Each structure stands twice: as structure tokens, then as C-alpha cells.
Amino acid sequence: MAENSQNRRYPPNLQGVLRLAVEAASAAEGPAPLEPMSEERKTWLREALAEVCKGQMDEVEQMKRCLAILLKEEVSKSEREGEEERDDEEDEDERESALETLSEFCENLDNARDLMTLGGLELCLSQYLFHVQSGLRWRAAQVIASCAQNMPQVQVYLLSIGALPKLLQLTDSDPNPTVRVKALYAASCLVREQEVGLQAFLSLDGFSVLMRGMQSENEKLSTKSAFLLLNLLTSHPEQKDTVVSMGMVQQLVSVLRTPHSSFHEQVLGALCCRGLVFVLQAWRLTALEASDIIGRCDVIVEVCHPQIVKEFGLHFLSQCHFMVGSPSALSDPDLNERLRQAAQQYGRTLYIPSGALWGGQDIQRLNDSGTLKALFIRMSKHPSCFRLTGDVLSDWAEGEGRRVLFRGSVAELCPLAPNNVNTMAAAAVAAGALGFTGVQGEIVSDTALSDYHVVEVEVTGLNGFSVHTLAKVTGAEFTCAEAGEDSGGKPATRGSTEKFRYK
């Protein structure tokens, strides 16, 4: 066996490896006997391990050679006299190649750290980020981006030596479009998921730089600026107010009015950050200018405040379908009627989600058949969950127990708690014959309900028929019940999705 091992030929290609594996698998069962390793195999193994170990060292040595090329002092004007222009071009090509090599190597996090230690990042920042040759400028920015992405240690170092203001300056004003795009990319690597970088970005008025980038004719710059804005607002929603105070909402809306482009998706995402609050603030400030946006929508979903329904509901319906996420607004009988008429006039659908209302379909069926005689809903919540007008709950204390805050018609209750009784409002819509004045509601403050709230529904029909249901609702459940049209048509159920619908 030892002799056969000495004479064995190693497979020269993948097919040979496969053949060897098949032969080994079909061999007799049982462990193969141990054989002494041949000198040839020992030599091959030593060389393979040495090759693996020296790979990283080779890359470091290559980075040092690249830095040596970049450190060459530029030839003075007097020394250039009489030289061929071709020599200058070769020198520039050599430096561009060195920067490209560094960028490629620094995709490896260890190499990025090594380049920082070798002084390569400071060299890129001090000598090449503002070099007269645009090809060297954008490649230097690319090296910085490659090192900074996903590397907090390098990010902090670059921020400490003043990289961010220089990158934002290039993004804002460099005459070369590629330099601007690469500089923005490098800046984003210093800002995203980096709190120190974000604070520096804010102090340098970075949002304004992004706004000007989105208004640029450079589509790549516009797209990346919009994407970074969306990323920052998604990761740091507390910055939304900063952006609004700067007047960027109107500017973003004006950007959307330009000919359609791929980056409009990111702009819309920024406007819609944290629900529709942001974009609705845009409409509140400049509703007429936003007509183009509304006209592109199939359906608008309002989840902000009843006031939005009151101010813009008719305009929304003139352009597209409209889902009212704050149906307490419909307790105003005049607004309720005008919205229904607008839906019919423009051929739109007015959707009313049932929220936490259980049995909404059954309530509306009873209403449509004329057998619904009374409807009562009680909602019990922890006092911290209520958002009431006035000072009804200003004196609550933890551990006080249960307190009835209001009992009466839903029409009277909606103005008191516009953000808390949308379930009752949805019930009043389903029970159209009773309406907001006929449906009775009660809200209860209960300090024992820290993890959920309770919804009780009591339905009364003909001949003393009565049903009482109780449901514990946790989190932000949004269960719907589909109902038919207000004209008395049959309900059109679609699976478990449900909404009250008016045409």
C-alpha cells in the first residue's frame, strides 16, 4: 500500500477530483489504514499553507508600494520644461491605478485598518481629494468610502481629521459629476449608522447639501442624495422636525413635479417617512402644489388626524380613492354628507376601516335589514393611552383603578377623544340607521390595563335579541370587517379583509 501511495498520481483537474471522490465512496466500508505521508505531499502541503499565510502580507506590501507611488513629489514646473506630455499622462495613470488597487484591497476590513495605520487615508485626504486631476479626486473619495463602510474605527478616525466637511464640499460644488457622486458616497459611509458622523453632518447643514443634490441635473447624484435622505429619516425619525423646519417639504414636493425619474421613489419615501404624517404636512403647507402627487395615487390612506380628513378629504376624493383612518372626523354630519356626495360625484370609493371593531359585518347586516335597534360600545384603556381634549384626565395617578370618563352618544364623544374612539366611529358608520347620535359609547380609564385595552360591544335587535362581545386588544391591531355600499347593497366579502365602503 505504501508503494502504491508513492506512485499515486494526484488529480490534475476537477473531473479527476470527482472521479477520486466516487472511487473513495465506492470502496469497502471501514476506515482506511493510516499511511505515512510522502515527501512530495509534505512539500505540497507546506507550500499551500505558506501561500495562504503570506496572502495578507502580500496585500500589505502591495499597499505600501501603492503609497510609495502616491507619495512621489510632483515635478515642479521648472523641471517639467522640455518633458513630453506623455510622461505626465503616464504618471497620472500610475497614480490612478494605485488608488484603484487600494480601493479594491480595502474592501477587506483588515486592509482598511492597515491603510489607516500606514497613513494612507490622511494622504488621500490631504493631497488627492482636491487634486487638480478629477480622476485622482474621485478615486481618492472611493478609497475613503471603501475604508469607512462598516468600519467604526476608521469612521471615527476620518471624522477626527476633518474628512466630512471636505467630502460635503466636493458633493456640493465640484465641477466633475463623478467626483460629486463618489464624494457623496464616501460621506454617506461616515454618516449612516454613525451617531458622531450624524451630528457632524447636521452641524455642517448636510440636509441642505442633499437637497441641492436632489435638484441637480446629475441623475446619479439626485438618486443617491434622495436615498441617503430616506435612510437618515428612517433611521433617525427625530430628525423629521429638523427637515420640516428647514422648509424641505415644499422643496421635495417641487422636486416631484419635475419630469418623472427613478429617484422620485426615494423622494416619496422621504415624504412618507413614519406614515403619511410627513407628506400630509406637505399638503397642509402647499396643498395646491401637491396636486400632481395626489393625481398619481390610486388610493390615499390617512392615518394622521381627523383634521386632515376635514381639510383635504374632498380634494383627495376628487383625485383618487380615499381611506379614512380617523373616522371620528365623520361625527361632523355636514362633513360626512359632503364626503359621501364627493365619492359619488367623482366615482371614487370612500373606505372606512373598522379597526378593533369585532363583528362589523354583522352590525351592518342588521342595519341593512332594519333589525338593528341599539348599539353600545365600551372601550377601557390605561389612562396614559388616552389623548383627550381639555383636562379630563390631567389628575390621574397610577394605581387609582377604574374611572368612567364619559358615557353618551358617539357624536358627543368623538370631539372629546378624536384619536381614541375611531373604533366607535366605525361602528356608527356600520350602524347607519342609528348614526353617530344613536350609537352609544363609554370610555373608561383603568390603571390595571397596562398591556392591553378592552373593547366591549353590545348589539340589540328585534324581540329582545341581544349579543355582548368582549375583546382584549394588544399592540396596534387593525382588523377590518368588509361591508357593502351605503345604498343598501349586499356586502362584498373578500377573505378576512374588511372595510366599510361607500361609492
Q: What's the one-letter identity of residue 397? A: A
Cα-to-chain-centroid distance, residue 396 = 37
Burial of 339 (0-12, 13-18, 19+ CB in 10 A): buried
Which residue is listed with cell 480622476? 135
Output b/e per residue, 412-444; b: 16+ Cβ within 10 A. Answer: ebbebbbebbbbbbbbbbbbbebbbebbbbbbb
Task: Give the pLDDT score at 482.
Answer: 30
Q: Give the pLDDT confidence score for residue 179 in this predicted structure.
A: 95
| C-alpha distances out from residue 381 to 120, 329, 403, 404, 469, Å | 60, 21, 10, 11, 17
By 3-state DSSP, what share of the chain in percent is helix, strand and coil, each rounded to 5? 55, 10, 30
Strands (E), 21-75: none
Sign of CA pseudo-dihedral 406, 458, 411, 419: positive
d(CA 130, CA 121): 14
Residue type, 19: R
**Chain centroid to CA 219:** 21
How large is the C-alpha radius of gyration of the chain?
A: 35
Q: What is the pLDDT of residue 395?
A: 81
User: Quick one: DSSP state of residue 270?
Assistant: H
Q: Tell me the backbone φ, ψ of residue 262, rounded to 5 degrees.
A: -65, -30
CA distance 434 to 369: 13
Residue 110 contacts residue 56 (beta carbons within 8 Å)? yes
Is 330 strand, coil or helix?
A: helix
Superfamily holding 360-477: Dihydrodipicolinate Reductase; domain 2 (3.30.360.10)
Q: What is the pLDDT of residue 320?
A: 87
Question: CA-CA distance, 65 to 72, in Å (whole number)?
Answer: 11
d(CA 472, CA 58): 65
Residue type, 15: Q
| pLDDT the model gives residue 491 | 31
Average pLDDT over residues 367-386: 90
pLDDT, one tens digit per residue, over 25-72 is: 655 455 556 678 788 887 887 777 766 555 555 788 889 999 999 988
Cell of 420: 381614541
pLDDT at 249 over 60: yes
Quick one: which of 141, 181, 143, 146 has its CA closest to 164?
A: 141
pTM: 0.52
Predicted confidence (pLDDT) per residue in 415-462, tens digit: 888 888 888 999 999 999 999 999 999 999 999 988 888 889 999 988
- Model confidence pLDDT, tens digit, residues 281-308: 544 444 444 555 666 678 888 877 888 8
Domain ranges of the chain: 360-477
Count of residues for the chain?
Answer: 503
Asked if 282 and 271 touch (Cβ cutoff 8 Å), the reply is yes
User: What is the residue type of 42?
Assistant: K
End-to-end CA distance of the chain: 89
Which segment, 141-145, 193-197, 362-366, 421-425, is predicted with the most confidence on average?
141-145
| Residues with Cβ within 8 Å of residue 263, at least 6 apart in sequence | 214, 219, 222, 223, 225, 226, 227
DSSP state of 114: H
Q: Which residues pair with 456 in a beta bridge?
A: 378, 470
The answer to which of 134-148, 178-192, 353-367 has the lowest mean pLDDT is 353-367
The one-letter amino acid code at 301 reads V
The Cα 238–Cα 180 span in angstroms is 28
- DSSP E strands in 257-393: the ranges are 299-302, 321-324, 350-353, 374-381
Cα(160)–Cα(141) distance, integer angstroms: 17
Lowest-pLDDT range of 300-304, 315-319, 333-337, 477-481: 477-481
Element (H, E) at 468: strand 466-473
pLDDT at residue 336, as a whole number: 92
Q: What is the pLDDT of residue 101?
A: 92
What stretch of H or E contains 153? helix 152-160
Q: What integer pLDDT is reported at residue 3 of this predicted model?
A: 46
pLDDT value of residue 276: 37
Over residues 315-326, the pLDDT tens digits come to: 889 888 888 988
